[in-house]
Amino acid sequence: MNTPLTPADADRDADAELVHRLSPGWVGWRHDFHRFPETGFEEHATADRVAALLQAMGLEVHRGVGGTGVVASLTVGQGAGVIGLRADMDALALQENAPGRPHASTRAGCMHACGHDGHMAMLLGAAELLTRRRDFDGTVRFIFQPAEEHGRGAAAMLADGLLTRFPMDEIYGAHNIPGLPTGHIATRSGGLMASEDNFVIRITGRGGHAARPHMAVDPLVIGAEIVLALQTVVARSVDPRHPAVVSCTEFITDGIRNAIPTEVVIKGDTRSDHPEVQALLERRMRELCEGICQAHGARCEFSYTHEFAPTVNWPQCVDVAVRAAQAVVGAGQVEAHTPPMMISEDFGRFLQELPGAFVFIGNGAGEGVPGATPLHNAAYDFNDTLVPLGARYFAELARVRLPRR
């Protein structure tokens, strides 16, 4: 005896057939984006391609939002609800090292090493699914954001009137994560990712002959002392209940082998998940740097800038994201209480303005597994199996949040 299909079963079968038929084209778009990467606010050809694909689907498309951003809208039915679905577009200034990769970057010193090519393909796939199925009731905004890598694009789109020109009730985003098994989806309520702040410490001493150090004020030795002292900030000033990271990543001098330098520049970044911790890090770092320089008779210039807001998910939107994820990959592959990470994402800036949620999608885990190469690595590549999965997830968000009446 055959059990009759329910409407939900029929919808899933129709969806699966359509995804199977369309996904090779979506993967092709991903490979095209990978071949022609562009860095933040330079995504002109990328935006042209995105806009052309969206227009070919019959969507209302707006260009130049926040510089090179693209926003497309699709309204179905009479529903008043509006949600935003966001993908990032920019690449990294990094030389790709992937001999034999057929879709490798054609642009020297630039590659998609963070998977934004895949994120665009996923959202474009979702747009095509929703325009063909039209199985929701309300409005979906498809947001393609520039300049995520340096934390400037979201603010630029907001300053250009994103939320007044294209009102939304909620916004959702996703990022691939190597180290998480392929197709697993993970999120949490509250803080998911940290803020990122950048610092520059400029130490000016008095250079001199390496054989006569008593006549110099050696900024290199002072800088070394500062690098070590900064490691005590988290260990001895931050409440252990709050995560924080201080990393010195560059140490630059104007000296030569037999000359003590006059100037040393130390650069790096900090990560935290709370404004009070951000303020504490900045204050303690400034006090240590200025105090150590003063003790040695050197001059200190300390610069500290706030680059990324923490990504703090809204609980009610996490519920929506989890339901959509479970519908696509099954409850056993969805983690709704994943531990927070100290990485940063420009999506956090949107969540300061309106409700929303962000999820991680596993790109692959394990030695030799496709997609397991770390982000920002010259050999990284987005896992193509995630393109149809991500497209279905984004489309399912619209169905969950804007159900047909």
Number of H helices, E strands in the chain: 10, 16
Beta-carbon count within 10 A of 238 CB:
20
Query: Is position 367 annotated in a ligand binding site?
Result: no
CB of 49 closer than 8 Å to CB of 33: yes
Please pick, among 15, 43, 88, 90, the residue that the annotation labels catalytic: 90
Query: Is position 175 annotated in a ligand binding site?
Result: yes
Annotation marks residue 148 as catalytic: yes
CB of 148 closer than 8 Å to CB of 346: yes
Please pick, among 128, 135, 148, 218, the residue that the annotation labels catalytic: 148
The token duo for 90 is 């920019």
Sequence-distant (≥ 6) Cβ neighbours of residue 144 within 8 angstroms: 47, 50, 69, 70, 71, 86, 87, 88, 89, 120, 123
Query: Is position 345 annotated in a ligand binding site?
Result: no
Going from the C-alpha of 70 to that of each of 19, 41, 143, 214, 241, the distances in angstroms are: 24, 12, 6, 60, 40
φ, ψ for residue 339, nearest 5 deg: -65, 150
Query: Is position 306 annotated in a ligand binding site?
Result: no
Task: For residue 6, give the DSSP letter.
Answer: P
Query: Is position 44 annotated in a ligand binding site?
Result: no
Amino acid present at 137: D
Annotation marks residue 287 as catalytic: no
Amino acid present at 311: T
- Which residues participate in the annotated binding site for Mn(2+)? 114, 116, 149, 175, 376
Residues known to be catalytic: 90, 148
- Which residues participate in the annotated binding site? 114, 116, 149, 175, 376
